[in-house]
């Protein structure tokens, strides 16, 4: 009996230790399936060790597409509270989606159009084919999706910008997190993250009027939520995935002005091409948080 008790005690200790290791494992390596588990608290330092202070944060515990209720995010391009179709897609890219919300849906006669949903602290931006009855009102665009923009509520020059997100898979899907100038000019443009159909491959880019565009391709470690970030300074721009540097480029001469944040799920366009029969809809771009910091 004493030997049996000793064996049982050792077994219990091993089970207890295994439990502790299981709790710690998601933070040790690889992407986390849980959207908030990695780096859920605001940071005190950037990955390069510089101290930073939080200036902007949305954790998506709730979200409203109505600008009268949500004073942080708008759901179309531009600086008007209720823009039309010309501010709800990028025709120059050849995109096939219209960015909708319930207010714009009401104008189209379909007030239930809402690509945004929140569950468990995660915002899902959903893309899907447009109902056939709406197609005559969409000027040839066949898909509905969503966009959020921090203009005019937040813009910043330089800093550390970070978002935790899970990317969709499927030909023609084009999720992005990016920055545009607060004065509504273009270029410049800073792409923190773009993906075209493959959630394991992203692109980090700058588009400038003073030099050629610069793009770096990076490969992710696996499906799930990843943390995408940009360190933007006077001299250098550095991109990170899950705290690891994946790209670096000297700051172009025209990227020293306040810029605002955009996150969207485009469909189709000259770069990704149109969806095909393999593309599964509805498709979701899931975002746990978006944050910005200044260097201190």
Q: Stretch 271-286: mean pLDDT, rounded?
A: 98
Segment 10-28 shows an average pLDDT of: 34
Q: What pLDDT is recorded for position 262? A: 98
Question: Residue 34: pLDDT band by 50, 70, 90 thresholds?
Answer: low
Q: Would you say 272 and 174 are in contact if contact means Cβ atoms under 8 Å apart? A: yes
d(CA 100, CA 145): 6
Note the pLDDT tens digit of each residue in 188-237.
999 999 999 999 999 999 999 999 999 999 999 888 999 999 999 999 99
Show the CA angle centred on residue 161, arms to residues 155 and 165, nearest 5°: 115
Taking residues 81-106, report their average pLDDT. Answer: 93
Phi/psi of residue 201, nearest 5 degrees: -130, 130
Residue 109: how many CB atoms within 10 A of its CB? Answer: 10
Query: pLDDT value at position 23?
Result: 31
Q: How many residues does the chain have?
A: 296
Mean pLDDT of 120-135: 96
Catalytic residue among 95, 139, 189, 211: 189
231-268, pLDDT tens digit by residue?
999 999 999 999 999 999 999 999 999 999 999 999 99
* Cβ neighbours around 254 below 10 Å, total: 16
d(CA 270, CA 86): 18
Q: In the prediction, which pLDDT does 33 show?
A: 61
Mean of per-residue pLDDT scores for the chain: 88
Whether the Cβ atoms of residue 61 and residue 70 lie closer than 8 Å to each other: no
Domains of the chain, earliest start first = 42-295 (2.60.120.200)
Compare 9 and 270 and report the one with higher pLDDT.
Answer: 270
What per-residue confidence (pLDDT) applies to 108? 93
In the structure, what pLDDT confidence band is assigned to residue 80 with cuts at 50, 70 and 90? Answer: confident
- Known catalytic membership, residue 97: no
Active-site residue, 189 included:
yes
The residues that bridge with 237 in the sheet, in sequence order, are: 232, 249
Task: Exactly one of 95, 97, 162, 194 is catalytic; name it.
Answer: 194
Q: Which residue has the higher pLDDT, 31 or 112?
A: 112
């Amino acid at each position: 009996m004493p030997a049996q008790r000793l064996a049982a005690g050792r077994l219990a200790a091993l089970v207890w230790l295994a439990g502790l290791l299981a709790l710690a494992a998601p933070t040790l390596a690889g992407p986390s399936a849980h959207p908030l588990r990695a780096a859920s608290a605001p940071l005190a330092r950037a990955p390069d060790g510089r101290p930073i202070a939080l200036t902007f944060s949305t954790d998506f515990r709730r979200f409203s597409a109505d600008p009268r209720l949500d004073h942080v995010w708008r759901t179309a391009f531009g600086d008007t509270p209720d823009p039309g179709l010309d501010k709800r897609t990028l025709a120059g890219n050849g995109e096939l989606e219209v960015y909708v919300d319930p207010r714009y849906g009401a104008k189209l006669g379909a007030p239930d159009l809402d690509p945004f949903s929140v569950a468990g602290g995660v915002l899902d931006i959903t893309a899907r084919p447009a109902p056939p009855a709406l197609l005559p009102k969409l000027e040839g665009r066949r898909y509905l999706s969503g966009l959020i923009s921090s203009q005019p509520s937040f813009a910043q020059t330089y800093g550390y910008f970070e978002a935790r997100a899970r990317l969709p898979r499927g030909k023609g899907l084009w999720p992005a997190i990016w920055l545009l100038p607060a004065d509504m000019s273009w270029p410049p443009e800073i792409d923190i993250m773009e993906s075209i159909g493959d959630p394991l491959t992203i692109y980090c880019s700058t588009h400038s009027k003073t030099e050629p565009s610069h793009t770096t391709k990076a490969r992710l470690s696996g499906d799930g939520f990843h943390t995408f970030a940009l360190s933007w300074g006077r001299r250098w721009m550095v991109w990170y995935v899950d705290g690891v540097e994946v790209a670096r480029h000297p700051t172009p001469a025209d990227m020293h002005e306040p810029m605002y944040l955009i996150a969207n799920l485009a469909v189709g366009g000259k770069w990704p091409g149109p969806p095909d029969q393999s593309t599964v809809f509805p498709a979701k771009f899931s975002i746990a948080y978006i944050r910005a910091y200044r260097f201190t």
